[in-house]
Structure 1
Amino acid sequence: MVKTKIAVLVSGGGTNLQALLDAQREGVLTDGEIVLVISSNDSAYALTRAAQAGVPAVVCSRKALGSQAAFEAAISQALSDHGVELLVLAGFMSILSADFTSRWPRRILNVHPSLIPAFCGKGFYGLKVHQAALDYGVKVTGATVHFVNEVPDGGEILLQKAVEIQPGDTPETLQRRVMEQAEWKLLPQATQMISEEIRREKDQ
């Protein structure tokens, strides 16, 4: 079986990358293979995780490259060099332009730490999402895996999972629970779903 070639785009600690690597090792992600990690940050711990797993990694820093166009050109070159067919954004803190996303229709996945359409869109990332949920007083939050288009958190939803908010939660405790109960489960599931879809298309 020729597996779907996956690139995981990261910016920080890489916990969602680790969930994908674990899913690949444990046989949850069977139709896809992570062939490349791209980091927007040269000091991201995710790069260490990639190295430990023997996955090639490159750094594409918008700041170092000087412009959005140069940044996306560097990413595109790395994707082309590795024959990538599916992109997974796993804590990737850079917005991709409409020009870039339009070249990858239904081929870019992202995980967002809320139940979209709640607490999403421009400015909602990281702990800010969980702080907003706590400030609003919702009793249930969760995570969403969706396709990426030109609208931040605006693409078609693939999977969602609810997570209850507990009395005394802080943004940090809530972030951890959402990752453990939802993000680390949903992202491998969705990646497998679309990897299988791509593989079947190639087999036809």
Structure 2
Amino acid sequence: MGKKKVIRISVLVSGNGSNLQALIDAIEEGSIENAKIVQVISSNASAYAVERAQEHDIPVNIITKHDYADIRDRMDAILEALNNESTDLVVLAGYLSILPKKVIDAYEDRIINVHPALLPKHGGKECYGIKVHEKVIAAGETESGATVHYVDEGIDTGRIIIQGIVPVKSSDTPELLQARVLKKEHQILPEAVRMVMREKGW
């Protein structure tokens, strides 16, 4: 058998980049084989995720609302960046913009997102960041967690790949729950990438 193709991953970020770090670590440790992060695309020039990428010599593309006021221009720039790196898989790791149909169609069934709740509960337009955990606690849930799913035209509605569950404690604040869920995200995102690669025969 010939050498397996190296799967080219582009990661889209907006903030701290701890999920990006989890992917970098998994690839460097060899727990994700035959994969390479070929670029990080950030919607925020000052995101710590940018520093994480640079520390590992991963090329960074800054594509912000400031630089591209028109969303169509911004998404064309993202699409061009993805195409330029011959991207096989797009990972949204704390990316706070909604990708339009044009991008989703171009990478159909090849875009995945990590969401800090157990979908289909607590998903949708207003469920991001600390707001998700506020809603989980307000709803009286006894468990929460993280979900990695394929991205479709809906918001948090794509096919679920994997979920990880954590307890919601009576003493929880949204911040405490967020920290517990984030640890679970770091566990399941690399596993989701492995599952996608297996599913697609990569």
Same fold (TM over 0.5): yes
Match of 2:193 in 1: 191
2:56 is the counterpart of 1:65: no
Match of 1:87 in 2: 90
Greater fraction of residues in helix:
1
2:116 is the counterpart of 1:113: yes
Contact 1:5 1:33 in 2 (8 A): yes
Contact 1:31 1:196 in 2 (8 A): no
Q: Give me the whole-angstrom Cα distance separating, in 1, the residues matched to 2:199 and 2:61.
A: 27
Q: 2:159 aligns with which of 132, 148, 156?
A: 156
Q: Give me the whole-angstrom Cα distance separating, in 2, the residues matched to 1:31 and 1:119.
A: 34
Q: Give me the whole-angstrom Cα distance separating, in 2, the residues matched to 1:115 and 1:66.
A: 33
Q: Deviations over 1:142-178 (max 9, x none)?
A: 1100000110101000101111012211111111101
Q: Aligned partner of 1:23: which letter?
A: A
2:153 is the counterpart of 1:139: no
Q: Aligned partner of 2:119: which letter?
A: I
Q: Give me the whole-angstrom Cα distance separating, in 1, the residues matched to 2:173 and 2:86.
A: 42
Q: Secondary structure at the match of 2:11?
A: strand
How many residue pairs were aligned? 199
Q: Normalising by structure 1, report the TM-score.
A: 0.94
Match of 1:38 in 2: 41
Q: Deviations over 1:83-129 (max 9, x none)?
A: 11110000000001122212211100000000001110111000000
Q: Secondary structure at the match of 1:41?
A: coil
Q: Give me the whole-angstrom Cα distance separating, in 2, the residues matched to 1:31 and 1:128.
A: 36
How far is the alpha carbon of 1:197 from its aligned partner? 4.0
Q: Give me the whole-angstrom Cα distance separating, in 2, the residues matched to 1:3 and 1:100.
A: 22
2:127 is the counterpart of 1:124: yes
Match of 2:171 in 1: 168
Q: Give me the whole-angstrom Cα distance separating, in 1, the residues matched to 2:156 and 2:63.
A: 22
Range 155-164 or range 188-197, more displaced: 188-197
Contact 1:50 1:57 in 2 (8 A): yes
Structure 1 runs of 4+ aligned residues shifted over 3 Å read: none
Contact 1:10 1:92 in 2 (8 A): yes
How far is the alpha carbon of 1:195 from its aligned partner? 2.8
2:27 is the counterpart of 1:24: yes
Match of 1:5 in 2: 8
Match of 1:15 in 2: 18
Q: Normalising by structure 2, report the TM-score.
A: 0.95
Structure 2: any 5+ residue segments left out of the alignment? none
Q: Give me the whole-angstrom Cα distance separating, in 1, the residues matched to 2:47 and 2:198.
A: 29
Q: Give me the whole-angstrom Cα distance separating, in 2, the residues matched to 1:81 and 1:4.
A: 15
